[in-house]
Chains A and B, each alone.
Chain A
Amino acid sequence: MVARPVPFATDPIGPGEPTPITITVNGSSVTGVLGQTLAGVMIAADVLAWRTTRRRGRPRGAFCGIGVCFDCVVDVNGQRDVRACQRRAASGDVVETPTSAASGDQ
């Protein structure tokens, strides 16, 4: 496990018991914690890339983490081009990453 959540039981900031949530990313289940963003859920599961770029087919995930760079865009529950680092995840969210995401058409 490389990218991962900070284990809550020994976390010095003393978070409450986490509420698990499960989302679907391109058909696979990924489990995270309530309060995380979609990007946070995926990175905590060591998923660092979730789309491929349009021109060169290169893998991309999150880069800036604060909504500036648009690298992390996904489709969520049918809504297109949502920045995964800016959207809190909800249980049952269906995330899809067609290669057309972030196509620059906005």
Chain B
Amino acid sequence: MTPDVLVIGAGPAGLAAALAARRVGAVVVLLDASDYVGGQYWRHLPVTRPARNQSVLHHGWSNFSAMRDELESDPRCEIVTGAHVVAIDGSGVHVLVGESDGTGRERRVIRAGAVVLATGAFDRVLPVPGWDLPGVFTAGGAQALAKGERVVVGERVVVAGAGPFLLPVAASLYQAGCRVLGVYEASRTSRLLRHWLARPWELLGTPDKVGELAHYASGQLRGRVPYHAGRAVTAIHGESRVTAVTVSALDSSWKPLAGTERTIEVDAVCLGHGFTPRLELAIAAGCRLTRDRFVEVDADLRTSVASYFAAGEITGIGGVDLALAEGAIAGHVAAGGAPTDVVLHRARRARNALGRFAARLASAHAIGPNWSTWLDPSTIICRCEEVTFGDLLSVSRASRATGLRSLKLLSRAGLGPCQGRVCGRTVESLLEARAPGGHLSGDATMDRRPIATPIRLGELATWFDGPDSPDESLR
């Protein structure tokens, strides 16, 4: 079917968008790369391993299962899992359907009246000496293994980085039987209090969110998992796998304070310093970004490109409730519903309140400017190409090039298989700090990736053999 609305990403924002679009009568296609819907937030055991009571691991599970059931039983909503969007261009949205990194996948080109991008975000991790050792995971990755596979990454575990997301990760690990030795939040208590408690009336509109965080802080974790603000894992030790970490107190700029180091024996480390939005499809579609590099949207979640909408974490990191509200608005308007419709009032109110809440969290947990003082010259920055901090420094010193593109080519940072997804923003900020005037020349960023997902040369070769008109003819 040729959809009225194509939704890319079946996490909270995408599910809400698909439902809202269906309620206005639109024919919907909902794509997700995973083999089930729910996104990273509602990661769960797959259908091949059913569980009676997944809800104990999740917030809002009943809401999720209701949304999923409604969409799955709706003949006018086609859910395509294993859908890997390769590119977006004038002829439509190009999708390969099948296993991740598989071969011989089915090719589809989908043209839709409107597209809602709901591609979400992934953990940002700042490099630390030793972070390339086996046993170091992103906080989200460790949680995904715990929730989606019932596998724990270690026995003695620390969770470190910045942001409220560290708490649910610690809770997931604790629930799965890990000894979580501590949660280390880099922002200092004074900063957390200043931003969290500023304008407390703003919190009135967000009881669920505050309740969720309070629940983690006071109930699930209190007395079981120590929470330390103003501290960071500043070195990770081990030969073939992690055996210990150094934890240091930080000043307000995130510079480690000499003499505060403490060594803790661990077998796994989970790191997360906020999130990076998955922007490649929005960029491929030509959507304008904001100054802080999210997709720019208006009050109806329209992007700068006609008939393209964006919802959820790619418009700003705000958590599940904001993603649901944005998805509901985007899906409704994308399907031709009036932006002023009463049915959107609740979502609009939620979006206003939660947007302010998200801004507070962002400033409370903002990355400190002097975090890089915990690096040493041998610390890996680009994991794929094994480019060290020392390599980057010498390229930036020795070269007269001041543009990101040249510096990338000279250092090879960001040129490996992940295409700079992991190190991109770190490389940019480290190079910027050392560029004349603190700015790189040109407007290149690490976010631009012409091929959104890896594709084998074999599949790329057959790309041009298919019928040249999109939609039905390809199926």
Residues of A within 8 A of B (CB): 1-8, 11-16, 18-19, 33-37, 39-40, 43-44, 48-49, 53-56, 58-71, 73, 79, 81-83, 85-88, 102, 104, 106
In the bound assembly, the distance between CA atoms of A82 and B389 in angstroms comes to: 28
In the bound assembly, the distance between CA atoms of A12 and B122 in angstroms comes to: 27
B425 at the interface (CB under 8 A from A): no
B386 at the interface (CB under 8 A from A): yes
A/B pair count, beta carbons within 8 Å: 175
In the bound assembly, the distance between CA atoms of A8 and B144 in angstroms comes to: 17
* B12 surroundings in chain A (CB, below 8 A): none
Q: Is the CB of A79 within 8 A of B101?
A: yes
B418 at the interface (CB under 8 A from A): yes
* A16 surroundings in chain B (CB, below 8 A): 49-51
Would you give 18 A-B contacts (Cβ < 8 Å), ordered by A? A2-B267, A3-B267, A11-B51, A12-B175, A14-B52, A34-B49, A40-B149, A43-B153, A58-B386, A59-B133, A59-B240, A62-B145, A64-B123, A64-B141, A71-B383, A71-B384, A79-B103, A82-B102
Known: A44-B149, A58-B386. 14 other contacts (CB 8 A): A3-B135, A6-B146, A6-B177, A13-B57, A34-B48, A34-B49, A36-B151, A58-B132, A66-B40, A67-B100, A71-B384, A86-B100, A87-B99, A106-B454
Q: 0/1 per residue, B247-272, Cβ < 8 Å to A?
A: 00000000000000000000110000
Q: Is the CB of B136 within 8 A of A66?
A: no
In the bound assembly, the distance between CA atoms of A38 and B149 in angstroms comes to: 11
Knowing A63-B136, A65-B140, A83-B101, the reply to whether A4 touches B151 (Cβ < 8 A) is yes
Among B46, B122, B141, the residue within 8 A (CB) of A35 is B46
In the bound assembly, the distance between CA atoms of A2 and B155 in angstroms comes to: 5
Q: Is the CB of A33 within 8 A of B144?
A: no
Q: Is the CB of B101 within 8 A of A6?
A: no
* A60 surroundings in chain B (CB, below 8 A): 132, 134
Q: Is the CB of B151 within 8 A of A6?
A: yes
Q: Is the CB of B51 within 8 A of A15?
A: yes
Closest chain B residue, CB of each to CB of A76: B101
B113 at the interface (CB under 8 A from A): no
Grouping DSSP codes into helix (H, G, I), strand (E, B) and loop, the A interface class, with mixed when no group exceeds half, is loop
In the bound assembly, the distance between CA atoms of A63 and B241 in angstroms comes to: 13
B56 at the interface (CB under 8 A from A): yes
Q: Is the CB of A66 within 8 A of B140?
A: yes
In the bound assembly, the distance between CA atoms of A48 and B157 in angstroms comes to: 14
* B154 surroundings in chain A (CB, below 8 A): 2-3
Among B46, B268, B385, the residue within 8 A (CB) of A104 is B385
Knowing A68-B421, A87-B100, A106-B454, the reply to whether A63 touches B53 (Cβ < 8 A) is no
Among A7, A11, A35, A63, the residue within 8 A (CB) of B383 is A63
Closest chain B residue, CB of each to CB of A87: B100
B450 to chain A, nearest CB (A): 13
B138 at the interface (CB under 8 A from A): yes
Interface members, chain B 121-139 (any A CB < 8 Å)? 122-123, 132-138
Knowing A13-B52, A15-B49, A43-B153, the reply to whether A48 touches B141 (Cβ < 8 A) is no
Q: Which 9 A-B pairs have the closest CB atoms?
A: A65-B141, A35-B49, A14-B52, A86-B100, A48-B134, A49-B134, A70-B417, A40-B149, A15-B51
In the bound assembly, the distance between CA atoms of A1 and B215 in angstroms comes to: 31
B142 at the interface (CB under 8 A from A): yes
* B152 surroundings in chain A (CB, below 8 A): 3-6
* A55 surroundings in chain B (CB, below 8 A): 385-386
Among A3, A36, A104, the residue within 8 A (CB) of B153 is A3
Among A36, A43, A102, the residue within 8 A (CB) of B384 is A102
Closest chain B residue, CB of each to CB of A55: B386
* A79 surroundings in chain B (CB, below 8 A): 101-103
Closest chain A residue, CB of each to CB of B43: A66
B268 to chain A, nearest CB (A): 7
A27 to chain B, nearest CB (A): 19
Knowing A43-B145, A106-B417, the reply to whether A14 touches B53 (Cβ < 8 A) is yes
* A82 surroundings in chain B (CB, below 8 A): 100-102
Q: Is the CB of B150 within 8 A of A64?
A: no
B35 at the interface (CB under 8 A from A): yes
In the bound assembly, the distance between CA atoms of A69 and B271 in angstroms comes to: 14
B368 at the interface (CB under 8 A from A): no
* B142 surroundings in chain A (CB, below 8 A): 65
